[in-house]
Amino acid sequence: MSDALDTATGAANAAPRKKGRRVQLDERYAAYKNVWVFIEHERGVLHPVSLELLGKGRTLADALGVELAGVIIGPPDEATRAFCTMAFHYGADLCYLVADGIFTHYRNQPYSSALIDLVNTFQPEILLLGATTQGRDLAGSVATTLLTGLTADCTGLEIDLEDRSLLSSRPTFGGSLMCTIVNLNTRPQMATARPRVFPVPEPDFSRQGQIIEHRLAMSEDEIVTKVLDFIPDKHADKPQLSFADFIVSGGRGIGSAENFELVFDLAYALGAEIGASRPVTYAGWVDAERQVGQSGKTVRPRLYIAAGISGAIQHRVGMEGADVTIAINNDANAPIFGFSNYALVGNALELLPALTVSFKKHLSALMAGNSPGEMAEVAV
Ligand code: FAD
């Protein structure tokens, strides 16, 4: 259903080029309007990707001059209703609420039915979901039932004001190219985006909105999947790279698993998470959970320190959302210096321990409550 119109360059945020578009929007979809964001939550906890999508959805809705709606499906309790309030604070004008006991646990069948029913009734032109386990499961079944196009794992979402179409960008051909996908003939235009690709917007706690309650005509007897028990993920303590504020990452330039201890040391000194490039996880120096990049995690920390990492596009797409990047590389022409805030040209095996010592001194001075003047002396 979607037409891949525009295969652009290897740049991470390639501007889409236009080619002839021959497909017209079917008249049945002429009335479809507004941007929707599916608000994901589980066991009373909101997934932060929903806030990120509300921020992006607000920009898209403003560009189109339409309203932004949150879609909340959940059990009939205060927590579910509170997600509507939160959606308003983060940019939604209205919320569609489907509350019923059958939504206590996420199950594809009732959630898909509810979302499809909402779409058919209220007709949005754009529907965004997180590229999470739940979002991917739901988006696929909703799009196939509605016979509409879905672009998965987007890294960029923009509006083409000429025909109001959603330009969904994502890496393609193994990450060597970026493509922009446009769904010209059906609605809604659906897309999923990975957590941490878009920033969380500043909340406005004075914002309010309208809640439109909807009922799903489905009973528990009609649902084939039953939840018998909830068993917490025994890996729940795995690295939470996507949500870390500070990350120290090492690449092939670190040389060996033994040398990688220097990355760990700096990370511990800073209270940071540990990341890595793909060759490092492939070599088994650290486990695969720590890989940053296209086939690993997307991160958006306040500080990203990249040591011995060249800055290949597949790594860059995973970390370019960092507020500040410090790159350490012994090659002054390494690509990573092209998109870093600070460049330390030198041997990482010498610079990492030097940074660890300096940061330790600096942080212990901070803890001891020294004045800024005294701290400047111990800073790097
Ligand atoms: P290299 O490219 O080998 O760079 C090592 C760097 O270390 C060099 O710049 C060198 O100058 C520097 N160096 C060497 N010695 C020192 C020293 N002593 N001190 C300081 N600097 C030193 N990669 C990812 O990272 N994440 C992904 O998710 C990912 N997904 C991919 C998906 C696909 C489909 C493909 C095809 C590739 C993917 N890659 C991914 C691999 C990617 O293309 C690069 O090969 C990889 O990022 C390179 O890792 P690196 O920078 O650690 O190694």
Instruction: Read off the pLDDT of residues 245-295 as tens digits, 9 standing for 90 and up.
Output: 999 999 999 999 999 999 999 999 998 999 999 999 999 999 999 999 999
Claim to verify: residue 196 and residue 150 sit in the same structural domain: yes
Tell whether 232 is covered by a domain: no
Q: Residue 20 has what pLDDT?
A: 60
Closest ligand 1 atom, residue 295 Cα: 28
Which residue's alpha carbon is at the smallest distance from atom 38 of ligand 1?
A: 314
Distance separating alpha carbons of residues 64 and 67, to the nearest angstrom = 9
Statement: residue 183 has pLDDT above 50 = yes
* Residue 230 pLDDT greater than 60, yes or no: yes
CATH code for position 54: 3.40.50.620
Residue 234 lies in a domain: no
241 lines ligand 1 (CB under 6 A): no
In angstroms, the CA 54 to CA 39 distance is 9
In a domain, 229, yes or no: no
Give yes or no: residues 198 and 140 share one domain. yes
Q: Looking at the domain assignment, is residue 344 inside a domain?
A: yes
Which of 194, 222, 250 corresponds to the end of one domain?
222
CA of 126 to the centre of ligand 1 (A): 37
Q: Do 124 and 12 belong together in one domain?
A: yes
**Whether residue 214 sits in one domain with residue 249:** no
Give domain status of residue 227, yes or no. Answer: no
Q: pLDDT for 111-149, tens place per residue?
A: 999 999 999 999 999 999 999 999 999 999 999 999 999
- Indicate if 193 and 261 belong to the same structural domain: no
Backbone angles phi, psi at 156, to 5 degrees: -150, 140
Gyration radius (Cα) of the chain, Å: 23
* Residue 218 and residue 246 in one domain: no
Domain stops at, among 222, 249, 271: 222
Largest Cα–Cα separation, the chain: 70
Residue 218 CB less than 6 A away from ligand 1: no
Same domain? For 32 and 161 the reply is yes
Is residue 103 scored above 80 in pLDDT? yes
163 lies in the same domain as 272 = no
What's the CA-to-centroid distance between 252 and ligand 1, angstroms? 6
174 touches ligand 1 (CB under 6 Å) = yes
Which of 158, 191, 222 corresponds to the end of one domain? 222
Please check whether residues 179 and 280 belong to one and the same domain: no
Whether 41 and 186 map to the same domain: the answer is yes
Using 50, 70 and 90 to split pLDDT, how confident is the model at 374?
Answer: very low
Q: Residue 231 falls within a domain, yes or no?
A: no
**C-alpha–C-alpha distance, residues 203 and 91, integer Å:** 8
Instruction: Tell me if the bond preceding 171 is cis, omega within 30° of 0.
Output: no
Neighbours of 37 (CB within 10 A): 33
Instruction: Provide φ and ψ at 239, rounded to 5°.
Output: -55, 130
Q: Helix, strand, coil proportions of the chain in percent (round to 5)?
A: 35, 25, 40
Same domain, 184 and 281: no
Q: Does 165 sit in the ligand 1 pocket, CB within 6 Å?
A: no
**Amino acid at site 372:** P
Percent of the chain with pLDDT over 70: 88
Domain count, the chain: 2
Considering the chain, what percentage of its residues have pLDDT values greater than 90?
A: 75
Q: Does residue 311 fall inside a structural domain? A: yes
| pTM, full prediction | 0.74
Structural domain for 286, as ranges: 241-378
CB of 317 closer than 6 A to ligand 1?
A: no
| Best mutation site among 241, 247, 252, 339 for ligand 1 pocket (most ligand atoms within 8 Å of CB) | 252
DSSP string of 40-54? -EETTEE-THHHHHH
Residue 235, pLDDT > 70, answer no
Residues 196 and 273 in one domain: no
pLDDT of the residue at 217? 84
> What's the CA gap between 18 and 62, in Å, rounded?
22
Residue whose pair of structure tokens reads 């690709």 in the numeric block? 197
